Chain A
Amino acid sequence: MVGEGSDSVFGKILTIMTSETLDQGQMSCEEIRKNIQKYVDKWRNVEGSLIMVLHDIQEDIGYVPREWAMEIGKALDIKLARIYEVLTFYHYFKLKPQGKHSIHVCTGTACHIKGAPAILEILKTQLGFNVGETTADRLFNLDVVRCVGACGLAPAVVIDGEVNGKSTPEKIIEKVKSLQS
């Protein structure tokens, strides 16, 4: 039993390690510095630009790695604590690498009363997704968002930036499965 347990834990660590090597976070400091130079040039002389810099990084690589945050802090003379204060306050920023495909289920009022909970439920039960988590195969990311402003088309699910209006659990499952293959 013990052996099995540690095996699976070891397996998990291994997958995390192998996948981490693909992440931007594993670059050397020089490489990161080179990469962040364009953000620094763009925003250096603009007051209060921290949120915009973080947006730019996330836009380009999908999340904000700790190493990058550290380098940004050095380049723009902002304490790491300040950066993390912002990163953890705003829901929009991601601190972990994201899956290949992003699924955002809108849980605004209109979507809530028109069936968003059922869609979330089926994604959880049938496909084993968890809100705020990346699947083990690093293919999908499930998140909930508070209103994407497509209330006229409720319930809305945003898959890879594309709004799927008037969704049903069946349609979403089908769509996700088509991305799996």
Chain B
Amino acid sequence: MTPSELNQLRDSLKAAHKNVKKCLHVCVGSGCLSSKSETFIPAIQKEIQAQGLKEYTVKGVGCRGLCAAGPLVSSEPDGTLYHEVTEADVKGIVENLNGIKNNEKVYNTDTPFFKKQKKIVLENAGEIDPCSIDEYICADGYTALTKVLTSMNPQQVIDTISTSGLRGRGGAGFPTGRKWGMMAKSVSKDGKKFVVCNGDEGDPGAFMDRSMMEADPHRILEGMIIAGYAVGSDQGFVYVRAEYPLAVKRFQLAIEKAREKNLLGKNILGSSFSFDIEIRLGAGAFVCGEETALIASIEGKRGSPSPRPPFPTTSGIWGKPTMINNVETFANVAPIINRGGDWFASIGTDKSKGTKVFALTGHVTNSGLIEVPMGTTLREIVFDIGGGCLNGKKFKAVQTGGPSGGFITEKDLDTPISYENLQNLGSIMGSGGMVVLDEDDCMVDITRFYLRFCVDESCGKCAPCRIGGYQLLQILENILRGRGTPEDLPQLKQICHAMQKASLCGLGQTAPNPVLSTMKNFEDEYKAYIEGGVKYARQKSKGKS
């Protein structure tokens, strides 16, 4: 296929799209699927036929974000949203297309949950059918790729990404443009270089990558192909957790469809650029989210991290230069190319540009997937978008960054979100998990939860992480059983600092973060366990904000 043929196809798809008066969008993300939402599609189809409504149609779409109110069905283009839909509601929803009003299941979208969000990465989620490449093309998909291949040289692509100020969305926030630049400069003897998409979303309490891969796989593919062109690579890998079978399936399908249309493979769109992508499955190891461990895993070995330097951009998979970006980072590429680096740089804060997707979960009313501009305050996220704590309970803390992150309390809620601000508060951006805790949650128990996770997931290669983590856990267990002593607290701190300084990779260096963060903000809860025993501590932790 050539660029002009692709444009022709897009035009004809758009023309066909105009003939559809109304379309019902049934969410087929993992969340809604668990309530059997896929069965609504044939049911709605049948009902549409039964009522003789020819210009109306139905399709499955990716996650809309409001998972807690699922299964969701929306009617486009008017945007009426139906929540907690059951088989029995299908008839009423189809009747509504015709102007009859059945309002019981209509969800009010005039709320901060929808109003305060800004969708760039997720703009297609809930709009297009993730299993259809035509739908993506119709939504101006692969225009960025065409633009890059026909009118830009690799350096111009890298410059655009640098101008945009995009930073790695995996958590550390390394400037993407600089990484691409480093990668473009590095040479390998046989010319092989690899582009890797890190979809090993191991953080407990995070599901951004999964939703993106399920809702809009082609956007991620497009970002990877553009990255391949910019850095001079012809082979990409997508590393996905095996725990996400649906994401794997949709991604595989997207790759096959893209190959059919010559958007992947040899001489893409008639140009001299060739690029192909393979899927590699993770196998349930959190440490494989770390770059060097991920590389080992793609090579088919156990996922042990190795010291850096050499950095993967110099020596990665099989010793070849390898560039690893997060799913969300790649999803940002196509819009940046289409709308320009300056446009992207105009969104967000001084140093953190664009938007960020968060998985808002825990004891919050509207749990689900959200996307907000950088610089939004945590209070807006938790109270406006999230709707505050469940059942009117009192807010205690919000945890960001998963097992490597920390806790942010009421007094810091007005901080605008950026990589630096969260770090200053003793937490991190992480990949975007955000867990809200209310007055009933015991902070020492949550800390033990995170620590146990890190101890389970430690690969055991370096002593500080392997032994330090275990010792921390033992002390915490003792404290939680009411057998702690006052000496435990300084000892905890000491071990934490040793781990931070001496561990080999990010997992060990950041594993003590939850401990340090809770000891800073909730020291009295630890003390209550040590001084007054378990019962006293539980009562006390409930009374406090």
Contact = CB atoms under 8 A, between A and B. Distances in A.
Nearest to A107: B204
B35 interface: yes
B302 interface: yes
Contact of B204 (A51, A147, A164): A147
Most A CB contacts (10 A, CB to CB) among B67, B318, B369 go to B67
Interface stretch (A1-9, A85-93, A125-133, A171-179): A85-93
A92 B33 contact: no
A163 B30 contact: yes
A86 B300 contact: yes
A90 B285 contact: yes
Given A55-B283, A148-B243, A152-B369, A164 B210 contact: no
A47 B295 CA distance: 13
Nearest to B301: A86
B87 interface: no
A150 B435 contact: no
A121 interface: no
A128 B503 CA distance: 40
Interface string B401-421: 010000000000000000000
A161 B245 contact: yes
Most A CB contacts (10 A, CB to CB) among B70, B281, B399, B433 go to B281
Most B CB contacts (10 A, CB to CB) among A55, A90, A114 go to A90
Nearest to A106: B204
A152 B67 contact: yes
Most B CB contacts (10 A, CB to CB) among A47, A153, A156 go to A153
B205 A110 contact: yes
B303 interface: yes
A51 B34 contact: no
A48 B298 contact: yes
B453 interface: yes
Contacts of A85: 301-302
A82 B245 CA distance: 26
Nearest to A108: B204
A70 interface: no
A49 B399 CA distance: 37
- How many chain A residues sit at the interface, stated as a range, is 35 or more
A149 B33 CA distance: 13
A48 B284 contact: no
B130 interface: no
Given A152-B361, A153-B67, A146 B297 contact: no
B31 A150 contact: yes
Contacts of B244: 149
Contacts of A107: 204
Given A55-B242, A165-B35, A89 B210 contact: no
Interface string A64-107: 00000000000000000010011001111100000000000001
Contact of A146 (B204, B207, B283): B204
B433 A109 contact: yes
A48 B300 contact: yes
A152 B32 CA distance: 10
B286 interface: yes
A161 B299 CA distance: 28
A47 B278 CA distance: 12
Nearest to B297: A51
Given A113-B363, A113-B446, A146 B453 contact: yes
A151 interface: yes
A120 interface: no
A47 B318 contact: yes
Interface in A129-150: 145-150
Contact of A109 (B243, B362, B369): B362
Interface of A: 46-52, 54-55, 82, 85-86, 89-93, 107-110, 112-114, 145-154, 156, 161-165
Given A112-B446, A113-B363, A147-B203, 10 more contacts: A51-B280, A113-B435, A113-B441, A145-B284, A146-B457, A150-B34, A152-B361, A153-B70, A154-B361, A161-B245
5 contacts: A108-B205, A109-B449, A152-B67, A153-B31, A165-B31
Interface of B: 30-31, 33-35, 66-68, 70, 201-207, 210-211, 242-245, 278, 280-286, 297-303, 317-318, 359, 361-363, 367-369, 399, 402, 433, 435, 437, 441, 446, 449-450, 453, 456-457, 459
